[in-house]
A = this chain, B = another copy of it.
Amino acid sequence: MPDLRKDPISGRWVIISVERGKRPSDFGMRISAKKGGFCAFCEGNERTTPPEILAFRSDGSKPNTPGWTLRVVPNKFPALNIEGNLNRSGEGIFDRMNGVGAHEVIIECPDHNLTMSTMPLKSVEDVLWAFHHRITDLKRDVRLRYVLVFKNEGDEAGATLEHTHSQLIALPIVPQLVEDEIEQAKQYYNYKERCIFCDIIHQERLSKERLISENEDFIALAPFAPRSPFETVILPKRHESSFMPDGKVHLMAQILQKTLKQIDKVLDMPPYNMMIHTSPFKIETNEYYHWHIEILPKLTKIAGFEWGSGFHINPTPPEEAAKFMREAEI
C-alpha cells in the first residue's frame, strides 16, 4: 500500500509509492518514452493492459477486444491503490494515511501515430467526455475528495509511453495547489462579490494583449504571471465552478485542439503538461472558483532557485508568447 505523508513544515503531501519502489541502481538507467516496438495501448493489444474500466465502442464489440475508439484502464503501476481504508495516523510529530485513491489511464484513440493536436476533433470530444464520466463515477466513493486530470506529452514532460494518453489520479485529500487557488479566489469573492477568474477574463478581453483565442464559450489566455514560456490557460467564459462538457463539448474540444496546434506550430512539437483544475467534490457548485485547463510547455528546467523559493524565472513575456500564438498559421 502506498503511503501518503505530510511534511509538517511546508504542509506539502507526498506519495511514497512502494509499488514503484526503486533502489539506487534503478536510477542509473533513465526510462525514456518507448519509441517503436510493442505498444500495449494499440488496437489488438487490449489483453496486455489491466481490464478496461470504460470504453467507447460504437460497433458493439466486447470489452478488452478491438473495436474501440477510446479506452480507460487502471494504471499498471498506480501511484495510489483503490482498495483499503485511509487509516489516518500519527507518527510522533508526523502525519500519514494509506495511499488510497485511483490512478487511471485514458487511451485517447487507437491510432499510435496521432496526438491530441492531430487526432480527429471527435476524438478530443470523446476524451473530454471520458474525463467527465470517470470523475462522476469516482465522486461516488466517499473516501475520495478530488480528481486531478492531467496529460504528459513527450519524454521530457514525464511521459513513459508514446501512444497518446491522459491520466487521472483520484485523491483522498484536496491538493494543496488547488486549495491555495480556492483560498485566494474565496478571499477575492468575499471582498468584491465577484469571481476573480471572471474579472480576469473581462480585463484580458478588453486589453487583448495576452489573449490567444476565443470562441462563443471559451477563451485561451497567456497568464499575466506564467511559470514557463508559452504557458496557456483555457477557461469557460461564463462562470462555471466544475468541469462539465455538457452542451459545449464541441467548442471545448475545438479551443483545446486549436491551442495545442498553435503550441506545436510555434514551438515545433514541444513536450508539455496539461492539467485540469476544477472544484473539489464537496464544493462542486460555488460562486468563487472557476474551472480551467492549464497547459505548460516544458522548455525550461526547474533548478535550485525554483525549488528553494517557489518563484519561477520565465524568459518569455506572456504578451510576446500570446502574439506568437495568435499569429501561428495552423
Residues of A within 8 A of B (CB): 3, 5-18, 20-24, 27-28, 79, 91-94, 148, 150-152, 156-159, 167, 169, 171, 175-178, 180-181, 184-185, 188, 196-197, 199-200, 203, 207, 223-227, 229-230, 266-268, 270, 273-277, 294, 296, 299, 301-305, 307-318, 320, 324
Contacts and interface: CB of A to CB of B under 8 A. Distances in A.
A9 B181 contact: yes
A151 B304 contact: yes
A314 B16 contact: yes
A307 to B, nearest CB: 5
Nearest to A301: B158
A314 B14 contact: yes
A304 B167 contact: yes
Contact of A310 (B177, B276, B320): B177
A11 B180 contact: yes
Contact of A224 (B94, B159, B224): B94
Q: Which DSSP category, helix, strand, loop or mixed, fits chain A's interface?
A: mixed
A152 B304 CA distance: 6
Contacts of A268: 24, 28
Contacts of A176: 309-311
A31 B122 CA distance: 39
A224 B17 contact: no
B304 A275 contact: yes
Given A93-B199, A315-B22, A309 B148 contact: yes
Nearest to A317: B16
A175 B177 CA distance: 16
Given A7-B224, A23-B320, 13 more contacts: A5-B225, A8-B196, A9-B197, A13-B225, A23-B316, A24-B266, A93-B200, A148-B305, A157-B303, A167-B304, A167-B305, A176-B310, A273-B307
Nearest to A158: B303
- The residue among A93, A159, A175 with the most chain B CB atoms within 10 A of its own CB is A93
Contacts of A7: 223-225
Contacts of A305: 79, 148, 150, 167, 169, 275
A10 B180 contact: yes
Contact of A20 (B15, B188, B313): B313
Nearest to A169: B305
Nearest to A200: B93
Contacts of A308: 148, 150, 175, 177, 273, 275-277, 294
